[in-house]
Structure 1
Amino acid sequence: IGRISFATPDRDLNNWLSWVTFQPMLRRIYGNSYLPQFDYGRGGKGWRDLWQDGLALLLSDPDSVRPMLLHNFGGVRIDGSNATIIGRGGAFIADRNNIPRTWMDHGVWPTYTTLLYVDQTGDLAFLLREREYFRDPQIRRCRQRDVRWTEAYGNQLRARNPAKRGASGKIYRGTVLEHMLVQNLTAFCNVGAHGLCRLEGADWNDGLDMAAERGESVAFSAFYAWNLDRLADYLEAMDRGGTHNLLLAKELLMLLGPGQAKRARLEAYLDVVARDVSGQKSAVRTDELARDLRAKSRDLASRIRRQEWLKAGRGPVFFNSYYDNRGRRTEGRRGGNVRLMLTGQVFPLMAGIATEEQTDRIIESVRGLLKDPRTGGVRLNTDFGGTQPDLGRAFSFAYGEKENGAVFSHMAVMYAFALYLRRRSRAGREVWTALYRMAMDSWTARIFPCVPEYFNADGRGMYSFLTGSASWLIYLVLTRVFGIRGELGDLVLDPQLEKPDFDAKGECAVRTFFAGKPIHVTFVNPDRLSAGRYRVSEVRAGRRRLPMTALAGGGVRLARAGFRAFPSDRDTHLVVRLAQAR
């Protein structure tokens, strides 16, 4: 507690952010049992919770999160699906309600969180640590049940016993990198009629649960495309560092290389790994694997950019988010109304799929169609005008409640994060500070100081201490607003602070940890310039000017080695001076 704190002119904001940083701690201690509301009071932790709670914790204490990350990879199945609940003692459970299904977004979060760990620490070797795979009766991405599986087999995948036909042998272990490849490559190949990742049981929006046969998620296809591209970046870094070859499960090579018959390749792979794996590993050149992942990323990204950009007559333009169970686009003009979902805008923005022009048009469309005129909060979707039995039960809620058009904090924060990634800091600030104002209107919100899961139609904050939103908010404010983040172990200072973030002297500050050292960073903006108008001109620790490398956009990079001399028991004060951009 207190490892990350902010100092802006708004004292209420500073205090509120202190409470928000506390939320991931509560979830880490109590799981879903803390302040139970409705279905969230039954203990255990969900798959997304594990990885997203880790975001804020990684920023302040990555060493403590490392064992947790390695443990969690043990919940991945070789078919790319995973255990959905982690119970007492870290035990993996297929599903709390004994109704196993595959949430198609579950494969994106382990990669995203793990790469944040690598950036904060520079620990590329972690990607080569080995872990077991989860095994239970569910096979073929939970579409079938293995009647031959028994408890005697155990809950860890085994290699086939070469000495006894049909028998299982030793427990199989693969690298963390292999686990991530399994999740991302199976999703890439699991495409529907429009060439995009199938929706399966649902995605991040649990209420989109009635399109398992023909549904596709444009939104998370974009996220998978981004994951593949980023994995290629880290593979190239490993190659530069001397890791020129990697050992991967022999079966996984079925999903690598060019080829258009994605579903057929996936089904062949699922056939081979349905019960056991061979236990054999094949050497793959690191640079060739990077090129293959990059090509797959471009394949998905170009399809989304070309195929899913919609124009509603002369009106708003934006990306389609989904296909329903009849293979129809979910968005666009329907009669006199325009249907728009925020999710399908967030991830094409975040992944860099949206062009600069498309980015600005999305901001206009979201502002015009999803921004609540009373609160300023961004809604999850427009009113679709009734139930959607070919898409999901989310639309059975009244409009403005839960997954049907509420101001959903998690997606709103991710939207703000995407806007900062695209250097649209004013628009991003507008989004996340609206959540702050809604939460601080305690007479209406009726919550303790925190960011809730969502605000309902009446502006009341609901599910007060669910923390996916909290972790992402701290992650946003520290790494994008203040711009303090790791990059392959080095420190990046790349602020996008706006005029209201600075006090009368043109200063604001944050306290955090980096490379195990407590640092207090003060940004000095004497000319009160707006983001995009300034650059980092110097960084000082006391009287010493620190060596730095300039980055595009006005930020700088400081080598990790320079932090070794900093004390571990007291703050090192860094002063970051901002000057007119050249």
Structure 2
Amino acid sequence: MLNKYQDVIQVRKELDAVRKDWQAKTSLIKIETPDKDFNTLVNTWLPYQLYINAYWSRNPSYYHGGGPGKGYRCNVQDTESILSLNPGFARKKIREFASLIRPDGTNAVGWSLDGPWDQSPMKGQVVWFTYLVNAYVKETGDTDILKEKAPYLKDKWCKEGEDEGTIIEHIYKQLDYSWNDRGGHNLPRIGRGDWNDGLDMAGIKEKGESVMIAQTLVRALQQASELAELVDDNEKAKELKDRVQEMTEAINKNGWDGEWYLRGFKDSGEPFGSNKNKEGKIFLNTQSWAILSGIIPKDRRKKVLESMDKHLDTEHGLALFSPAYSDYDPELGRIAMFVKGTKENAAIFCHANLFKIAADLAHGRGQRAYQSLKKIMPNKQKDYELYKTEPYVFSEYLIGPEHPYLFGEGAFSWLTGTAGWAYMMATEWILGARRDFEGLRIDPCLPFSWKNCKIRRPFREATYEILIENPKGIEHGVKEIWVDGKKIEGNLIKPHRDGKSHKVKVVMGKSDR
């Protein structure tokens, strides 16, 4: 290698090849909106961060020690977000992730070149694989993958069971595990943490429960039932739908606090994320996921949205919860060991902010979603002397409002699932070019001021040049769609699969249907 790169001409050729490779990777999807910073982020920097994360996950880097390899939960989400750019890569990763699932439905927390990590299973991780596979099938139309076989992982945590199973059987096992692992409120046990790793003592006695795991499980059960129907496993599909109903009822009966949803229950049975608590009264994630999972009744939506806006929103983004913990709580764990406003102790976690942005978009609140995104965008910070991290990649968090003097400082850039969720929200929900089983769903959700915007997006062996017109400056609603000069019914474009480019005009407004 040293000999190869001693030649300056050869070095220049290799550098040019690298530039062309990145240009190809980042140019497949292009957007054009009135916000130039948003365009730059989505067109260049987000695809760059997605590829780095998808290939390297949270591996050690020059910036941070990271983990000893690739984290399962993180890399599954990274792969889902890169689907529209590289579905072939995602297909290979699905098989790799499946091989890390055990016959009992748990999965390795992560892996490296030495093999799977031997850490004890994390209860909240089992849902993310379902989301990835469901999204992959919607993106590609490839249902064959569901019946392909992959090995199960056998290690000290699970030595018995089948040697292999189909991809959809891997999904069933993961969701069966979470379904059968419930506590006294009929909610999944939290164990040593869910999405929030800092809640590592909340269920150490195997009695604590997580409302967030319950909500994410409902979404996974819904998506798994869709996949079951695709392979004509109608009996399993019905079972999964019945579980959706039962878990939804349990969450709304036991997880509602009056103005918002609880975060969970400690081993002692005491709720946290409750107005009755002195600290940690309201948590962001269980409000966002109440909407994303669809469990929330209509009469509670306004309360939940207003509670987040009132109690958690700040000039730099939404805090993970409020108020921050000031003293260690042995029934919760290290969440209360961090300085107020840092890490899991009420920082402005960017990943969680994207969940909230997703909830706003699902509710048709395009203006609010856009405002929230701007607050955490790395290239839209007002004071970089304060922010202190790169202006082209998302940080894991910004220091929260209860820190005495560092409120708004960025930290742990790169090491976050934020980029993936930001890319999906930007392209699939704000610009609204969203994958679906039957085709490309066009359903933009915009800020009021955007009267025109564009997105070019490949989908199932064709490319769609989409112009969105918003003459009345509304947030959500499609009046009509024209494809290659012909008006279509509804907002679903059937796949062309012809290798050609197709012109799409979308007019927002009240639907004629």
Kindly state the Cα deviation for residue 287 of structure 1 after the two structures are TM-superposed: 1.6
Counterpart for residue 344 of structure 1 = 286
Kindly state the Cα deviation for residue 228 of structure 1 after the two structures are TM-superposed: 1.1
Paired residues of 1:52 and 1:113 also in contact (CA < 8 A): yes
Counterpart for residue 557 of structure 1 = 492
Gaps of 5+ in 1: 140-145, 147-156, 160-171, 240-285, 312-316, 551-555
Kindly state the Cα deviation for residue 332 of structure 1 after the two structures are TM-superposed: 1.9
Paired residues of 1:34 and 1:465 also in contact (CA < 8 A): no
Counterpart for residue 510 of structure 1 = 455
Distance 1:73 1:335, change over 3 A: closer
Kindly state the Cα deviation for residue 5 of structure 1 after the two structures are TM-superposed: 2.6
Counterpart for residue 381 of structure 1 = 321
1:529 pairs, out of 470, 473, 477, with 473
Greater relative contact order (Cα < 8 A, sep 6+): 1
CA distance in 2, matches of 1:47, 1:338: 28
1:44-59 correspondence runs (5 A): 44-59=69-84
Report whether the alignment pairs 1:114 with 2:133: yes
1:223-302 correspondence runs (5 A): 223-239=216-232, 286-302=233-249
Letter of the structure 2 residue corresponding to residue 48 of structure 1: R
Report whether the alignment pairs 1:74 with 2:99: yes
CA distance in 2, matches of 1:335, 1:429: 32
Report whether the alignment pairs 1:15 with 2:47: no
Partner of 2:58, secondary structure, is helix
TM-score relative to the length of structure 2: 0.87
Partner of 2:341, secondary structure, is coil
Counterpart for residue 261 of structure 2 = 319
Structure 1 vs Structure 2 CA RMSD: 2.1
Letter of the structure 2 residue corresponding to residue 558 of structure 1: I
Kindly state the Cα deviation for residue 34 of structure 1 after the two structures are TM-superposed: 6.0
Paired residues of 1:523 and 1:577 also in contact (CA < 8 A): yes
CA distance in 2, matches of 1:439, 1:348: 29
Paired residues of 1:30 and 1:43 also in contact (CA < 8 A): no
CA distance in 2, matches of 1:36, 1:85: 20
CA deviation digits over 1:133-172, x for unaligned, max 9? 0011123xxxxxx7xxxxxxxxxx775xxxxxxxxxxxx2
1:30 pairs, out of 51, 56, 69, with 56
2:429 pairs, out of 453, 457, 480, with 480
Kindly state the Cα deviation for residue 429 of structure 1 after the two structures are TM-superposed: 2.8
TM-score relative to the length of structure 1: 0.77
Report whether the alignment pairs 1:452 with 2:395: yes
1:136-535 correspondence runs (5 A): 136-139=155-158, 172-210=163-201, 211-213=203-205, 214-239=207-232, 286-311=233-258, 317-334=259-276, 339-372=281-314, 374-375=315-316, 377-382=317-322, 383-436=324-377, 440-441=381-382, 442-448=384-390, 449-457=392-400, 458=406, 459-500=408-449, 502=450, 506-525=451-470, 527-532=471-476, 534-535=477-478
CA distance in 2, matches of 1:479, 1:31: 23
Paired residues of 1:438 and 1:445 also in contact (CA < 8 A): no
CA distance in 2, matches of 1:439, 1:381: 24
Kindly state the Cα deviation for residue 440 of structure 1 after the two structures are TM-superposed: 2.8
CA deviation digits over 1:9-47, x for unaligned, max 9? 11122112321221011123434346444441x552100
Paired residues of 1:47 and 1:85 also in contact (CA < 8 A): yes
Kindly state the Cα deviation for residue 436 of structure 1 after the two structures are TM-superposed: 2.1
Kindly state the Cα deviation for residue 574 of structure 1 after the two structures are TM-superposed: 2.6
Partner of 2:286, secondary structure, is helix
Partner of 1:529, secondary structure, is coil
CA distance in 1, matches of 2:28, 2:380: 23
Q: Which moved more, 1:353-362 or 1:382-391?
A: 382-391
Letter of the structure 1 residue corresponding to residue 419 of structure 2: A
Partner of 1:138, secondary structure, is coil
Letter of the structure 2 residue corresponding to residue 332 of structure 1: S
Kindly state the Cα deviation for residue 333 of structure 1 after the two structures are TM-superposed: 2.7
CA distance in 1, matches of 2:498, 2:254: 53
Distance 1:384 1:334, change over 3 A: farther
Kindly state the Cα deviation for residue 337 of structure 1 after the two structures are TM-superposed: 6.1
Kindly state the Cα deviation for residue 325 of structure 1 after the two structures are TM-superposed: 2.3
CA distance in 2, matches of 1:400, 1:331: 16
Q: Which moved more, 1:357-366 or 1:380-389?
A: 380-389
Paired residues of 1:75 and 1:92 also in contact (CA < 8 A): no
Kindly state the Cα deviation for residue 63 of structure 1 after the two structures are TM-superposed: 2.4
CA deviation digits over 1:464-510, x for unaligned, max 9? 1124110011011111111111111411111112222x2xxx31112
CA deviation digits over 1:59-109, x for unaligned, max 9? 222123111111210000111211122213xx64124xxxx2221111010
Distance 1:49 1:107, change over 3 A: same
Sequence identity percentage: 23
Paired residues of 2:456 and 2:464 also in contact (CA < 8 A): yes
CA distance in 2, matches of 1:67, 1:385: 45
Distance 1:331 1:509, change over 3 A: same
CA distance in 1, matches of 2:297, 2:115: 41
Paired residues of 2:378 and 2:393 also in contact (CA < 8 A): no
Distance 1:405 1:566, change over 3 A: same
Letter of the structure 2 residue corresponding to residue 381 of structure 1: F
Report whether the alignment pairs 1:574 with 2:504: yes
Paired residues of 1:218 and 1:322 also in contact (CA < 8 A): yes
Paired residues of 2:181 and 2:188 also in contact (CA < 8 A): yes
Counterpart for residue 538 of structure 1 = 481
Distance 1:334 1:384, change over 3 A: farther
CA distance in 2, matches of 1:415, 1:378: 9
1:82-97 correspondence runs (5 A): 82-88=107-113, 92-95=115-118
